[in-house]
Amino acid sequence: MQAVYSIFLLAFAAISIATAEPEVQDSVGLDPKEVPMLHAVPYLTAENTTFGALVEGAGVDHWGDLYAVHYKGSKAAVGRAFKTPALFFRDRVDDASWFNAIRFSTDRDGVHEAYIGDVTNHRVVRVRDPGGKGAFFHFETFCHDPDMLQPNDLAIAYSTRRLFLSGMRFANNSVIGDGDLWTCNEQGTATRLGTFHRTNGVEVSPDEKTLYISEAVDQNGKAVSNVIHAFDLDAQRGTIRNKRTLVDFGQLDGSADHDIDGMRTDVNGNLYVTRWGAGRIAKISPTGQLLAYIELATISEATNLEFAGTGGRELFVVGACVSDPTKGCIDRWAGPVQGHVFASLQQTYGKE
């Protein structure tokens, strides 16, 4: 399925960087109660937000602009959150589309593009800006497989432009197969890499040698386990091996009942992990050590996050507003280093 759409011209947007908090050293051996608690501040609140309660899929483009899904309460719409919020893309062909993830990239000719996960249609759509003027008007289904559970979240290995997709289905008592992991190569061919209990967040390390995916186990309608697995990754072939548990939140801080949702890395390889229902983000080192918590200002049920803004050093977290759960809020924390995705987007991967 392919269609061509006109999308709002998106101008460069930049925002002021808040004062960054100092880098936190590795908290090896620290009790979770002794781990530094950092603090986010409100960015979009229930009073001025343009996003609905299902806000998700935070993404950053080459210029540092932030995007999220559920723009103006539509599951089929993605909006820009910076400066004057505006519609970025809406599926006007299929109103049943339910977008839940977005990542930006460039093709081998330098054309800017965005990949958007569509839960209900089991596909990833691609919108492109062939004119290089911020007008993403070319829309097509990039990869699709009816056996995909969703996809729910996605990550990119930028050197090979390979996508990695997670999916889930809820069950009172989860089993293997209630979560899955897929990859789509540069040509859009989808391949399933594995099945799990309920999977959600997925991310690639900055050196593209490690893939992370979260897994939750449900019993009697409640989460009883939430872990992050790490795999050795071959980003060229799209293969994974050597599965190991990086973090078990039940053992780490007793928060097995709080779901992991979106995850992102900074350029140092640290993972920033949403803790749905806990009102905070966990910062985890590449070796699985808890470095810090980031307490959220307006959100308890954080769904996703991304580094954006001028320099790509500000972490933006999205989720339903505590003060009005029918609306989607965004909190902001000024970090010391760039996000991995923003840094990758500054590089040019030309034709081979």
Q: What is the pLDDT of residues 57-66, one digit of tens each?
A: 999 999 999 9
Phi and psi of 3, rounded to 5°? -150, 160
pLDDT classification of 21: cutoffs 50, 70, 90: very low
In a domain, 110, yes or no: yes
In a domain, 19, yes or no: no
In a domain, 306, yes or no: yes
In a domain, 22, yes or no: no
| Number of domains present in the structure of the chain | 1
Q: Shortest CA distance to 24 belongs to which of 338, 344, 337, 339?
A: 337
In a domain, 157, yes or no: yes
In a domain, 97, yes or no: yes
Domain extent, residue 47, equals: 2-8+40-345
d(CA 74, CA 232): 37
Residue matched to tokens 């093709």: 107
Q: What is the pLDDT of residues 237-274, one digit of tens each?
A: 999 999 999 999 999 999 999 999 999 999 999 999 99
pTM exceeding the 0.75 threshold for the entire prediction: yes
Residues of the chain with pLDDT > 90, as a percent, come to: 82
Distance from CA of residue 46 to its chain's centroid? 22
In a domain, 31, yes or no: no
- DSSP letter string over 155-217? EEETTTTEEEEEEE---SS--TTSEEEEEE-TT--EEEEEEESEEEEEEE-TTSSEEEEEEEE
In a domain, 47, yes or no: yes
Residue 326 belongs to a domain with what CATH number? 2.120.10.30
3-state secondary structure of 220: coil
